[in-house]
Amino acid sequence: MAVERTIFHVDIDAFFAAAERSINPDLIGKLLIIGGTGGRGVVACASYEVRPYGVRSAMPMSRALRLCPNALVMNSSHGLYGKISKSFMAILRDYTPDVQVMSVDEAYMDMTGTEGLYGSPEKAGQAVKDRVREELKLTASIGIAPSRLVAKIASDERKPDGMFTVQAGDEAAYLAPMPVRKLPGIGPRAAEKLARLGIQTLGQLAVFPEGPLRREMGNQFSRLIERAKGTDNSELSSETKSKSISSETTFHADSTDRAFLDKMVADLSQSVGRRLRRTGKHARSVSLKLRYNDFTTLTRHNTPNVSFDGDARIVEIATALLDATLKQRNVPVRLIGVGVENLSEPAAQLSLLDSAVKDVSTLSSTLDRIRDRFGDDSVTRGPR
C-alpha cells in the first residue's frame, strides 16, 4: 500500500482586506470592501465584518452597497498583494519544496514525511500560521488531509484562522453531512440537477448508483461519486506536468518607460526560470504577452534551436520579443507576461557546444538556492 500523504491547503483569510489592514491598522474592524468603485465595479474581497450583511466576493459593488450602505470601499492595490504573496509563498517553501501555488493567497504543500523535521502535521501547521501572523500580520486557515481535495474543503470549513485535520480513512465520513456545493466542481446548476435526483449531501452523492447519475448528469459527473467520498489521488505541482509556465503582472499605472518594462521582463523571466528549474525540465520556447492601455493584447513566441532552463537565456529572448512587439506598437502598456513553453526532459548528454548553456543553468540554480534561503530580493540580475 502506498504511503499516506500529508497535504496542507493553506489559504489566507479575506486576503485583500487583510493585506490593506496589515499596512493600515486604522482599517481593522471597519466594514471594509475591496473592489471597483466605478459603475460596473465588482467586489474583489469582502472583509468578515461585511459578510453578515450578505456581501460576497464577485458581487456587483452596487448590490454590496445596498446590502451594507456604511461599508468603506477601497480599490485593490495589486502591487501590495503581489509583494505579500511572494513572502507568503516563501514561508511555505521554507517547510517543503513541494508547494503548488493556486492563487495569490492559496497553496497546497506536500508535507509527507516531514514529521522528523517539524513534528506532527498540526505542529508544522501551527508553525506556518504563526509565521504568517508574525511576519505578514495576516491569518491563514489550514486544512490537513491525505489529498488536495479534502485538505481544501477542510481549510474552507475552518475559516477564519482555523486548522483542521482529516485523518486517512475518515474522508468519506467527514464529507458526508456537507451540502453538495462544498465539493469543488459542483456549481449552482449541478447542485440543482442533483437536488432533482434527491441528492442534497455529499453522503447521498457518495452512495448514489453510478449508472443513473451518468444518465442524468453526463459522463463527467460519474467522477463526482468518487470525489464525494473524498477520493483524490491527484499529485501536487501540476507544473511538472504542464507544458508551459508563465507569470504576468498588471502595473499600477500604464507605462511606456522602456527601462521599467525591461526590468519587469527580467523579473518575470527570473521567476518563470526558477519555477522551470524546480520541474527539472528544459523549455524550448519563450512567450511574451503585452496588454496595452486600450486592452488589446499581443502575444509573441520565439523558439531557439537549443532548449534551456537558465534565467539569462529567458531574459534575453523575452527582451528581444519586447523589442519586436514595441516596434510594432508603442503605446502605454498595462500588463506584461513572460512564459516558457514546450517543456521536456533535458537531453541526456550535453554536446560540447552546449557547455556554455550548462554553465548558465548552473549559475541560475545557485541563485535559486540563495533565493530559497534568503528571499527573492536577495539576488537580482540586471534586466539584460
Strand partners, 100: 108
Residue identified by cell 519555477 is 275
Closer to Mg ion by Cβ: residue 20 or 105: 105
Report in angstroms how near the CB of residue 330 gets to Mg ion at its nearest: 38
Encoded one letter per residue, x for contact with Mg ion by CB under 5 A and - for no contact, window 329-368 reads ----------------------------------------
Report in angstroms how near the CB of residue 72 gets to Mg ion at its nearest: 20
Encoded one letter per residue, x for contact with Mg ion by CB under 5 A and - for no contact, window 100-119 reads -----x--------------
Closer to Mg ion by Cβ: residue 162 or 383: 162
11 interacts with Mg ion by CB under 5 A: yes
* Residue 339 contacts residue 317 (beta carbons within 8 Å): no
Closer to Mg ion by Cβ: residue 140 or 315: 140
Closer to Mg ion by Cβ: residue 103 or 378: 103
Q: Catalytic: which of 106, 192, 216, 226?
A: 106
- 239 carries an active-site annotation: no
Total chain residues near Mg ion (CB under 5 A): 4
Encoded one letter per residue, x for contact with Mg ion by CB under 5 A and - for no contact, window 65-104 reads ----------------------------------------
Enclosing H/E stretch for 109: strand 106-110
> In whole angstroms, what is the distance from residue 248 CA to residue 340 CA?
12
What's the CA dihedral at 250, 252, 257, 262 to 10 degrees? Answer: -40
Report in angstroms how near the CB of residue 120 gets to Mg ion at its nearest: 25
Q: Which residues contact 316 (CB under 8 A, 6 or more apart)?
A: 384
Bridge-based pairing state of the strands 285-292 and 32-35: unpaired
* Residue 45 contacts residue 180 (beta carbons within 8 Å): no
Enclosing H/E stretch for 246: strand 244-255
Of the listed pieces 4-12, 47-55, 165-173, 332-340, which binds Mg ion according to CB under 5 A?
4-12
Closer to Mg ion by Cβ: residue 11 or 232: 11
Cα 48 to its chain centre, rounded Å, is: 22
- From residue 79, alpha-carbon distances to 42, 83, 168, 264 in Å are 19, 6, 40, 13
| 1's grid cell | 500500500
The residues carrying an active-site annotation are 106
Which residues lie near Mg ion (CB under 5 A)? 11-12, 15, 105
